[in-house]
Amino acid sequence: MKARLREDLTALMRIPGLSGQEERVAAWLRARLDGLGLTHRTDRLGNLIATIPGDRSKPSVMIFTHMDQLGFIVRKVEPDGLIRVERLGGVSERAMAAQEVTLCGARGDIPGIILNKAHHATTPEEKYKVLTTPEIRIDTGHGSKAAVEAAGIRIGTPVVYAGRVIELAGDRIAGTSVDDRAGCAALLELARHRAGRVGPTLHLVWTVQEEFNLRGAVVAAQNLAPDIAIQIDLMLATDTPDMADRGEMSLGGGPGISLYSFHGRGTLNGVIPHPALVRLMEDTAAALALPLQRSAQVGVLTDLSYVQLLGDGVAAIDVGFPMRHSHSAVECCDLGDLAGLVRLLDGALDRIPPAMKLERD
């Protein structure tokens, strides 16, 4: 399973898919779903949905993960051909300067670099100052506004970090948009395991616009009206010195569940998981002898926070894989954690009983 996850994740990390522009990621996934003989559809927002019909005496389950990645949008092309951008999503501006980017122009992808003032010329104050997105310039080498526009780049062109994959020792993979292409690869692997099996009715959904303030999943869930919603995304790895006081989540330590998430900076939303689903994950992990890590974090938010509020309320839980350096151009995960996550979800689906009690009395 790890070899397949490595192959899929590597391919997915190299496909540009800024929020609102997920079509190329979806097309890649659709081809794999076709190969599995799974029917699928895409809603008007772009969410890709594959439903595996199941036992109607069991609650229906939607498991979802987002296809989009954060990045930038062109807001102005200067006369000298340098490109100014707005940020789309929570870009880590500390890690932005001198990165390679891909501009998804009307005539194809164009490489560019984010300028960084020559170190030899920086003043003492500039040396320790982080540039914000409105201050940066991107150079594509074209040299003039006319040449940039002739290459198909104009206001509104999507820009993402250039897709790259760095295979570290063992099972560790670093590179672009591990958040949340690792989730996309895990959900595809789960689809392979569930195709042709009978369990609860299962909606596998690859969602859009998560990095654009959590917009896509709620539309899919509104339509599918699941009883249970399970969201796959990163969990903050806290096993580096700079993160040590934030928790006990280690890279390579197995999949995790979130017991509490709250954004708390602007978006006052979060998820307190349904206790029956916490038990389901804990019991499944114990039965399969899988390690299961726990997360409780302020500053973290997923699209599940909106999904849980639909209809009579949807029983909800966030599951995920530990990840380092979130929202920078080089994120890092461990394939063993992804494989464990797939086994956890597959096992949990098998353990959902008929008429599972989800009422909170």
Active site residue 210: yes
Nearest approach, Cβ of residue 238 and Zn ion (Å): 17
Nearer to Zn ion, 179 or 337 (CB): 179
Nearer to Zn ion, 48 or 74 (CB): 48
Closest alpha carbon to 358 in 315, 316, 320, 317 = 315
Please give the C-alpha separations between residue 332 and each of 168, 201, 251, 280, 335, in angstroms, as whole numbers. Answer: 9, 33, 9, 28, 10
Determine the 3-state secondary structure of 221 from DSSP.
Answer: helix
User: Using CA atoms, how far apart are residues 2 and 185, in angstroms rounded to an integer?
Assistant: 11
Nearer to Zn ion, 8 or 233 (CB): 233
Inter-axis angle of helices 335-351 and 275-287, to 10 degrees? 110
Nearest approach, Cβ of residue 352 and Zn ion (Å): 25
Nearest approach, Cβ of residue 180 and Zn ion (Å): 4
User: Using CA atoms, how far apart are residues 26 and 28, in angstroms rounded to an integer?
Assistant: 5
Pick the catalytic residue from 125, 126, 189, 210.
210
Asked whether 206 and 184 are in contact (CB, 8 A), the reply is yes
Closest alpha carbon to 220 in 52, 25, 44 = 44
Binding region for Zn ion (CB under 5 A) out of 24-32, 137-145, 172-180, 267-275: 172-180
Binding region for Zn ion (CB under 5 A) out of 103-111, 119-127, 158-166, 173-181: 173-181
Nearest approach, Cβ of residue 234 and Zn ion (Å): 6
β-strand partners of 76: 84
Tokens of 42: 């895409």
Asked whether 303 and 231 are in contact (CB, 8 A), the reply is yes
Site size for Zn ion, by CB under 5 A?
3
Tokens of 104: 């998804």
Provide the 10 A C-beta neighbour count for residue 288: 15
Please pick, from the candidates 68, 171, 179, 334, the single residue that binds Zn ion as defined by CB under 5 A.
179
Helices within 216-274 (DSSP H only): 216-224
Binding mask 215-254 for Zn ion (x = CB under 5 A): ------------------x---------------------
Nearest approach, Cβ of residue 252 and Zn ion (Å): 20
Asked whether position 180 contacts Zn ion by CB under 5 A, the answer is yes
Nearer to Zn ion, 5 or 352 (CB): 5
Nearest approach, Cβ of residue 355 and Zn ion (Å): 33
Binding region for Zn ion (CB under 5 A) out of 17-25, 111-119, 122-130, 175-183: 175-183
Nearer to Zn ion, 8 or 179 (CB): 179
Nearer to Zn ion, 180 or 346 (CB): 180
Closest alpha carbon to 210 in 11, 111, 56, 69 = 69
Q: Which residues are catalytic?
A: 210
Contacts with Zn ion, residue ranges (CB under 5 A):
179-180, 233
